């Protein structure tokens, strides 16, 4: 595999710097080899012949992904969690009401049986 020229490596390094900083000229700033190549104005095949720069790109992409995971959760996650918590609470209340109703029915039947025993004796 033929290494890239010094000028191409410089263009790729500048493009990588722009991608990482978010100051891209042509793209949306995703950290991919294709976007790096487009930003540098070279083909993807040429970009793939610069392993040192690709390693830096992968490190930057991993760091960006990690910082995204460590950052605050989107509000939708909290809304979904609150909805699930409310549903669980309602389900628990329904279960408690059913248990209390069953206990009340058992108590009433025992009282009725005691009355029958008292009336018979």
Note the pTM of the prediction, 2 decimals: 0.55
pLDDT of residue 29: 63
Is 56 buried (19+), middle (13-18) or exposed (0-12) by CB count in 10 A?
Answer: middle
> Which pair of structure tokens corresponds to residue 54?
């690709």
Residue 33 has pLDDT above 80, yes or no: yes
Annotated domain spans of the chain: 6-70, 73-121
Residue 26 has pLDDT above 80, yes or no: no
% of residues, the chain, pLDDT over 90: 58
């Amino acid at each position: 595999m033929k290494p890239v020229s010094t000028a191409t490596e410089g263009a790729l390094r500048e493009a990588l710097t722009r991608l990482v900083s978010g100051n891209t000229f042509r793209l949306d700033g995703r950290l991919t080899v294709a976007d790096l190549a487009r930003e540098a104005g070279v083909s993807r095949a040429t970009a793939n012949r610069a392993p040192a720069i690709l390693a830096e790109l992968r490190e930057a992409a991993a760091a960006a992904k990690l910082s995204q995971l460590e950052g605050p959760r989107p509000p939708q996650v909290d809304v979904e969690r609150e909805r699930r918590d409310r549903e669980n609470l309602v389900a628990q209340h329904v279960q408690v009401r059913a248990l209390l109703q069953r206990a009340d029915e058992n108590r009433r039947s025992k009282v009725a049986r005691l009355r029958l025993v008292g009336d018979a004796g």
